Structure formats: structure tokens, C-alpha cells
Structure 1
Amino acid sequence: MWNESYDYDVVREIRVKTTAYIGVGAINKIDDILAQMKHEGVSSILCVSGGRSYKSTGAWDKVEAAAQKHGIALALYNRVTPNPTTDSVDEAAALGRTINAGAVICIGGGSPIDCGKSAAILLANPGKSGEDLYCFRFTPEKALPIIAINLTHGTGSEVNRFAVATVTRLNYKPAIAYDCLYPRFAIDDPALMTGLSEEQTRYVSIDAVNHVVEAATTTVSNPFAVNLAKETISLVNNWLPVALENPADLKARYGLSFAALQAGVAFDNGLLHFTHALEHPLSAVSPDLSHGLGLAVLLPAVIKECYPARPAVLAHILEPIVPGLAGVPEEADKVAKAVEQWLFGLGVTQKLQDLGVKESDVDTFCDLVEQTPSLSLLLSVAPVEGTRETVARIYLNSLRPMA
């Protein structure tokens, strides 16, 4: 696909930074990781997690045992909620300061990982707050070493330089991206993910699909991101139904974990555009909305909008779920409806109207897309111009089923 989509005389950046361990039993690598931290002089670590899964999966027992073995003190902040806020970032960082933390361990899905990453920046930049960070009042160049123990197969945050949090006071949900946010180490152990609920299993996997659809079609994408995209979609298509049927199937969880890890690397290289830019205001206003569900609701309309600009790439990467495409602009409506039917077949049938969004709300969400820091950057790399009219059309086409 690279020779059809990219000029050989254009220099493109390819990023691969984090040391990631993936496979059943990968959690045991925490012993080697903490031995390395101790060797580097780290004697205390802030641990950031949600309220339950860090403990119920057994991950915390492994972390505690390794820390005790290597003489490292731990402080646990376990109050991160889905769609983390800058208040949580500030609280986690404050706890880290009480023990003079030298590193941060994030245990959970995207929310604890993003919160922990953000706290790692604040701990290395005294006097700064979560709101300062997410309102771009400073540009961080350093963070404490970050270790990400991923408990879902969707985020990708364990292997890239991105983090997201809602600015509590403003209902803004910006994304940040700094080189200091790359985790030093990441652990993706499928055995820690078998307890995900049916809904979580769906939504996090669909998050990975959205990552690659966007990453492969931005104006700054590269061949690496495109190749990762098709493989990611194929893995999710193959293994998500298996995991829904049998949550304990470790081969399925491994396939989905690998898909999500690839997707995290893909959007680290290609960035993101419409789906994430438009979903962030939805979950900022409604924090109980699962990020993956919000993305699923928007994805068909985004594909419809972008397909005419990237027909060859989208036909290539979507082939596992929409076979036989010619890769011509005229297929846009057909492909969008086919992707919507694929999502419906996985049990994700909601549209914006089912989430309580009305046509009269579209202007408000368009305002938030324009006002939220960082979202204009996502729109700037979209394959079609990210005008207010385009954004409004995507929201309107997502209110109810297309088919």
C-alpha cells in the first residue's frame, strides 16, 4: 500500500519508543522493571489506578511484591474515574509529592494511564497544575519515568506520547502529546483482561479501530501507520466476537491486546482527526459516556465524510470488514453504512439520539470543538477541511442510523 499512497521523496517520521512486554504472564516483568528503577536510584513510586481492577486482576499484588523485594516504597492513588479530570491529576501529583516519588506506575485502562502520565509531568515540573498542563500554559520537557500496566485492549496510551483529561472547570477535554510522556516500560498481559465486562470488551476494541482509521488517513500519516491499521482491523474483526462469546479465551484477548498496542503506535505516528475531536466534547459534557461508545457512534459518519479524500487507503484497511471495495470516492455512502452494520452486528447499536443528544445540541458541541484546546490541531490534519459545517454534518449524520 505504501507505493500507492506515498511519494518516495517525502521524508516521514516513524516513532517506536516504549519497551513493551505482551503475552500471558507479562505482569511478572514488573520485577525486572522495578529492579531497573532501583538501580537508577528510585526509592519511592506513585501508583495511579481506578477503584477496583488494579486489585481484582491481581496486578497490584505483583507490583507490591516486586516493590517490597527491591526496597521501593509505594503510594497508591486509586480514585481515577473514566474520562479523568484535571482534579484527579492534581490529587495524584499531590500524593506523589508526599513521598518524593521518583517514578509513576499506571495500572488500568486509558483513564488511569493518562492520569498517571499527567501526574508524572507535574511531579517533574513543580508549581504547575493539571489545568496549566491541559490549557497549554507551559510546554513540559520532562516527566518522571512512567511504567504502564495496561488492563484493557483499546487505549494504546501505554506505548505512545498522548494523554487526555477533562479540564474540570471548563468542560474541555483536550489531548496533549509530548515526548516526555512515552512510558519507559509497558505491560500488556491478556490474562489481566479476562474480567472486562461485555460492554468494556466491545468499547475498548472499537477504540482501537477508531485509532487506526484516523491514523491511516491524516495528512501526516505514513506507510507504517497504514500497515498497522489493516492488521489492527483484521485482528479486532477476528477476535472480538470470540472474546464476547468466551471472555476467558486468552488467545482472543492476546489478539485484541496486540491490535490495541499496534493501534497506539499507529496514531503515535499518524495522529488522529475527526472522530476523537468530536467525541471529546461528548464525554466532557457526559463523563459517564464510554469513550469507545462515543467513537463508535461517530465512526460511520466520519468515514462517509473522509472516504472521498482517501478512498484507496480506506478500501485497503477496511477490507477485513467491508471486502471487495474498488477504492473510489463514489463508495463513501456504501462503506459508511457497511461499517455501521458491522458495529451493529457487534452489539453497538446506539446513535447520538440514544445518548440523549438532540439536533438542537449540535451547535453547542460545535462550539466545544472550536473552543477546546488541542482539538483544532486534530482537525488541521484531517483529510478534508475541518470546518464548522463539516463538524456539524458529522454530528447530524450520527444522530440516528444511516441504513
Structure 2
Amino acid sequence: MSIDSDSVLIVGAGQSGLAAAHASLQQGLRPVLLEASDRPAGSWPRYYDSLALFSPACYSSLPGMPFGGDPERYPRRDEVVAYLERYAAALIERGAELRSDTRVEAVRPVGESGTSGFLVRLADGRELTASAVIAASGSFDLPHRPALPGLDAFAGPVLHVADYRSPDSLPGEHVVVVGAGNSAVQVAHELAAERRVTLASRAPIRFVEQRPLGRDLHFWFRLTGFDRLPLARAETPPASPVLDDGRYRRALREGRYTRKAMFARLDDDHAVWPDGRSERVDAVLLATGYRPNLPYLAGLGALDADGHPRQRRGLSVTHPGLGYLGLEWQRTPSSNTLRGVGVDARRVVATLARHLRGSRRHARV
């Protein structure tokens, strides 16, 4: 089945895919969203129950639709899901096409480096052809599990935060949370209400005040232009600080949970710390981030040896009709957020639209 030359095929209908669809409509293109799950909300329905955004509602919307409600509140997970579903419905009314329960298995080039488009094979065996493809499948389905000494032989449960929902997800009295980012601290704080919690990390936690001078940090980001600041290309993205309204640092200071340097190893059901001391651990929770989930591009030659896309600011350096959205630190500090992905989408789709128009002119010659 072919998709017409004015269409762009978007893999994923989470926040990045929906932003891509909006930008495509703005360019006069017809977006076709392929979503593996049963609804257009990406990974949001599967985040832990207590998750709240780290930015207020007024800084947490996609292009063309404000979040609504109290602009200074920090929306919860289910509010974000409902917002994304409303956003998708509005896009469909404008001509976008959404195909849910549709998993992409592989993308292959048609012509040299995709100069004549792409062949997209779906999990049910069907095939589509498209002139342009945007990979917006995120990273939630590829959680990073670091090679920590003894982790694979640990006697208790080891859970990544991608599979954590609430304190009921973990048994036992003593939980070690591995990580130093927002999710690690937020979950450690939640668990500490009823468990003994140790936060283990290679570097100290770097807290940043969430509301300096009475205004949310994102107000200052927008005022100073920090959110729009293009990043220098880096092999390893910088670590994000923990946004804190005071409660996380206070809980740490009061000993409600503790922070230690990364354990030297796990030994059966014990953690051995760098100073040689050993203590029993009932469960380990990894809040160690994610990696781009792009297995369907493995045979295209668009990824490096580690599975990362060969791209610059969201545009493939190997295939001119291929774009990416939602990569961590793709172009700016806000690239993988509700507030920032729309700017990236506009730039990526504008370039792909020029590519499609150029391809059509070349075909007529």
C-alpha cells in the first residue's frame, strides 16, 4: 500500500509524533501516525502513578492547544494522557490519520539512501511505502540497565522505573534506588514514606530550586532564552538537575532517605559499599534513563553501532527523507519535553517538506 507524495509517515503518536503531525499539517502535508498501542498518548499511561510534570501547565503544551486549567499547577500523569488524546482528536479533525495498534517492524530504503522513499513493514505483515518518515517512537520501551557488578545475580527483585507504578511494586523493607535524576529522587521520596530507602549514584544529587524569586524555573528559561539555546553536539548528554520545591532536599537532610556513592557490588542479597561495609537489600530500583527505541531502523543503515541515530538536530545524515523527534537533548535542553518538542517538529518537518517538494520537481524533469 502506498502513501501519497504529500504524506509523511510518523512512527509513534506520543507527544513527539503529535507535534510532528501538527507541523505537517502546517506545511500542507498529510500526516499518517502509526501507533503501536491502542491510543495516542505514547508512554504517558505507563508512567508511575504519582508522576507530576516538572513544569507548570502554562509551559507544558504542544503547539496550537493550551493545556487548560490553572496555568501554575503541575499536571499529573492522567491529565497529560487526557490532554494528548484531545490533541490527537483535534488533529484528526484537521485531516491527520491515526492508525493505532500498528507496530512498525522495519523500514527499508527505496532507491539509493531512500531517494525514492521508504518501504515500511508492519508487524501484521502489511507494507506501506512513503516518501518521508519521522521516527518519533521515544525511548520508554528501551530502559537503560547499566552493567553494575552483581546486578544480574542479585537475590531480590530488580525493577526499572519504567515498570514501577507505586510502592506496592516493590517488596521488602530496604530499597536501593539507583540514579540521581528527577525520577530517582521523586520515587525515592515516595518510597521513603513507608520503606527504608538508599539512593545510590555515581555523583552527588544536584538540586535546583524550582521556583526562584517566586516564579517557576521555566519562566526564567523562557525569559532568558535558555530553552531555545542550540546545544553543542555531544556524545553524552549532560545530566539534568533535580528540580526541587524544597521537600526533596529537606527529606534528605532529615534522613528520611539517604544518599550514598554507588555500591561496589551486589553480593546475593547484600550491597557492598565503597568503604567495605555490607548491608542487606530487599529490592533494587533502577532510575537510570532510557535509550532511543529504534529497532525498526536497524537494517536501514541509519543507526550507529550502539543503536543511536546518525542525525544532526533531528535530521538523518544518511537518508534525506528521514527525521527524528523526541531524542534527549536533540537540539535544545527542552527537545524531549511537551514544551519544547513543537519547535523541533516545526524545523524537522519544514526540512522534510522541502525535500518532498524537491523530489517531486526532480520526478517531473
Q: TM-score, normalised on structure 1?
A: 0.24
The higher radius of gyration belongs to 2
Structure with greater strand share of residues: 2
Structure with greater helix share of residues: 1
Question: Does 1 or 2 have the higher relative contact order (CA < 8 Å, sep 6+)?
Answer: 2
